Amino acid sequence: MLGVAPTAPTDNLRATVREAHPAGSLVEEAPTPPPPTDPVEAPLAPVVHLPAAVANKQRTMIGVAREGLALPPVPRSEPPIPSQPPAPSSPPGPAPTAAAPRANTMMGVAPPVANSSAPPPARESLAPPSPDHFARRRKESPPFIGGQRLGSAPAPSAPAPYVGQSTQDEIKALKKPPVGLWIFGAVVGLALLGGAAVLAVRTLGVGGPPPLQAEVRLTEGALRAHARLPGADARWRVVHRGTEYPVDATGAVDFPITGLDPEAVGEIVLPIEVRDAAGARSPRSLRIVIGYRVVADLEHLGDDPPRVHLRFRVPEGATLSIANQPITLSGQRGVAEIPAPAPMSLEAPTVTRSERFPIEVRTASGVVIRGEYELRVPRLPLRIESPGPLSLVNASMVTVEGSLPRAARVLVGSQPATLMGDHFRAEVPIGPGANTLTVRGFAPGGAPVSTTLMVYRSVTPQDYLASGGGDRGVAPLVTPPAATARLRVRGRVINSTQAAGELPTFQLLVSDRACPAQQCLAWVDVPAGTLVRVNETVEVVGETHGTRTYVNQSGQRRTDTVIRSLFLLRP
């Protein structure tokens, strides 16, 4: 069905097959030639030229049999083929070549087996068979089914193996897999492809719930995300980089953003995990847009005049403005220069100055990000070693000295001090009476700082109290006024201490006025080098300067008035 064996040469095409037989039928065998005898000389006979028989074509369902190979003998169980009457004698001469028998099977052609003990196969007779012969053969020979004849004896034993023989004309058939196997393979392949697609979708974050919108805030130099989870309540939680954060009753969550590139700007998808009230976990993501990043450069605070540089980084193609003033950008970077904060008082309770600046960034795609940057600048650690904040001298010059790390400039009034590393010193003239000296320090890394010194020259306690309206009452001790109040008070020293970097101080039990619960306590700061003894009675002339809170030996928390002493008298 698939191929045809090679035919005989073209000069043999004149020979024809006498009769064609249908597949599955048998053909008659030719009579066996007599065995050869000793050669005997015989008279020559006239030569008769007979056409050579055409080589038979071996047709199969799968392949083509190799031409010229003998076919296996017919099993013995098959009925013998009756012999035909001898053909009329013919003139002596060479016998014609017998046509090779056809072997028609359902699957193919069995390989030939060389068997010397088996008798040679019978040849097909050239004489035409009788009509009743074909009828009898059809009756006695059952049809083939699956390559085996019904009613025949068991198949003969398999022939002995032989060295593989092949020919280019032989078509080797491939074994066709069952249709069910094809369907099973297709289903498994589609399932694997589906699994890979799901994995790719999960890996790429495509196809899941859309990212939640989050607002980004810059708080104390750190980014914080503020988002709202639809349908969430206080039982829900959000996990970011292994840390769990609570959700409030409205579904809002606020947490610090960690693990980002410190210079990343623009749109960022932030992976999180959401845990609902039942504890079920689901991966989600937040869509945040970082419009700008800013770093405060405080190195120019030591310049004259001092200033601050805000160094911005914005998305590519964006515009930037601060306090409604456009900032020139070079690529994604820009610098905004702002004035330094006003000098901070050394006596102020806070040690940091903060200012807020409105910022607007417009991205190349038209998204507008508005925010407010809080600039926090620490106060410089200025320290005055002498004179004290309230001092008395009798000379016309006063020496002001102290320290300021990395000091760039120190001014006493309008006079610059001499810098010696972190140390400074200045000789300042003063006049009789009260003199106010303002000391200002400038250094990179911190806000300018200032402090005020009160220096009195050649005054008496009476002059000092008269010029300031001194009060000997109890009110300044019980309820210290917001402004300073001058007073003169007597008492007993009950405690003396001096902290590092601070003026000497002692605790005074007031004894010269009626106090609530028969007791008034005050803290007294004295100039450096002043010595007092515990249980010593002293008289203090000075002014109030706020309060001091502490815990006494009994564990009681108290708040008492602080007095800066100008005169310390021993009655």
- Residue 289 CA to residue 286 CA, distance in Å, equals 10
Per-residue pLDDT, 30:
43
- Residue 102 CA to residue 360 CA, distance in Å, equals 98
Lowest mean pLDDT among 3-7, 294-298, 447-451: 3-7
Per-residue pLDDT, 89:
46
Residue 372 lies in a domain: no
Residue 148 lies in a domain: yes
Per-residue pLDDT, 139:
46
The better pLDDT of the pair 232, 41 is held by 232
Say whether both 492 and 543 belong to one domain: yes
pLDDT of 14 above 80: no
Taking residues 123-140, report their average pLDDT: 50
Average confidence score pLDDT of the chain: 73
The better pLDDT of the pair 129, 260 is held by 260
Residue 85 lies in a domain: yes
Per-residue pLDDT, 181:
54
Taking residues 8-20, report their average pLDDT: 34
Say whether both 4 and 80 belong to one domain: yes
Say whether both 105 and 2 belong to one domain: yes
Say whether both 429 and 492 belong to one domain: no
Per-residue pLDDT, 56:
47
Most confident of 126-135, 141-150, 190-199, 487-496: 487-496
Per-residue pLDDT, 471:
65
Residue range(s) defining the domain that contains residue 260: 212-290
pLDDT of 195 above 80: no
pLDDT of 355 above 80: yes
Say whether both 471 and 538 belong to one domain: yes
Contacts of 510 by beta carbon, 8 Å cutoff, 6+ apart:
477, 489, 490, 491, 520, 521, 522
Asked if 60 and 107 touch (Cβ cutoff 8 Å), the reply is yes
Lowest mean pLDDT among 40-49, 288-297, 395-404: 40-49
| Confidence grade of residue 441 (pLDDT, cut at 50, 70, 90) | very high
Distance of CA 66 to the CA centre of its chain: 68
Lowest mean pLDDT among 9-23, 52-66, 178-192, 355-369: 9-23
| Confidence grade of residue 180 (pLDDT, cut at 50, 70, 90) | low
The better pLDDT of the pair 272, 172 is held by 272
- Residue 461 CA to residue 489 CA, distance in Å, equals 12
Residue 318 lies in a domain: no
Lowest mean pLDDT among 32-36, 149-153, 513-517: 149-153
Q: How many domains does the chain have?
A: 4
pLDDT of 332 above 90: yes
Say whether both 556 and 485 belong to one domain: yes
- Residue 543 CA to residue 565 CA, distance in Å, equals 7
Residue 63 lies in a domain: yes
pLDDT of 360 above 70: yes
Say whether both 418 and 513 belong to one domain: no
**pLDDT single digits (tens) 205-223:** 445 688 898 888 766 667 8
Asked if 30 and 122 touch (Cβ cutoff 8 Å), the reply is yes
| Confidence grade of residue 425 (pLDDT, cut at 50, 70, 90) | very high
Q: Which of 259, 290, 321 is the last residue of a domain?
A: 290
Percent of the chain at pLDDT > 70 equals 61
The better pLDDT of the pair 295, 65 is held by 295
Residue 198 lies in a domain: no
Asked if 235 and 275 touch (Cβ cutoff 8 Å), the reply is no
Q: Which of 457, 484, 515 is the last residue of a domain?
A: 457
Peptide bond into 101 cis (omega under 30): no
Tokens of 175: 């074994």
Say whether both 516 and 444 belong to one domain: no
| Confidence grade of residue 492 (pLDDT, cut at 50, 70, 90) | very high
Sign for the CA dihedral angle at 326, 328, 333, 337 comes to: negative
Contacts of 301 by beta carbon, 8 Å cutoff, 6+ apart:
307, 308, 340, 377, 442, 443, 444, 445, 446, 447, 448
Say whether both 450 and 491 belong to one domain: no
- Specify the pTM: 0.56
pLDDT of 537 above 50: yes
Say whether both 6 and 130 belong to one domain: yes
Distance of CA 449 to the CA centre of its chain: 46
| Confidence grade of residue 238 (pLDDT, cut at 50, 70, 90) | very high
Per-residue pLDDT, 480:
76
Taking residues 311-322, report their average pLDDT: 96
pLDDT of 116 above 80: no
Q: Which of 290, 318, 339 is the last residue of a domain?
A: 290
Write the CATH number for 447: 2.60.40.10
Per-residue pLDDT, 515:
83
Write the CATH number for 504: 2.40.50.140
Per-residue pLDDT, 359:
95
pLDDT of 64 above 80: no
| Confidence grade of residue 170 (pLDDT, cut at 50, 70, 90) | very low
Say whether both 474 and 450 belong to one domain: no
Residue 337 lies in a domain: no
Say whether both 433 and 479 belong to one domain: no
**In angstroms, what CA-CA distances link 97 with 15, 76, 85, 100?**
11, 27, 20, 9
Taking residues 257-266, report their average pLDDT: 88
Residue 241 lies in a domain: yes
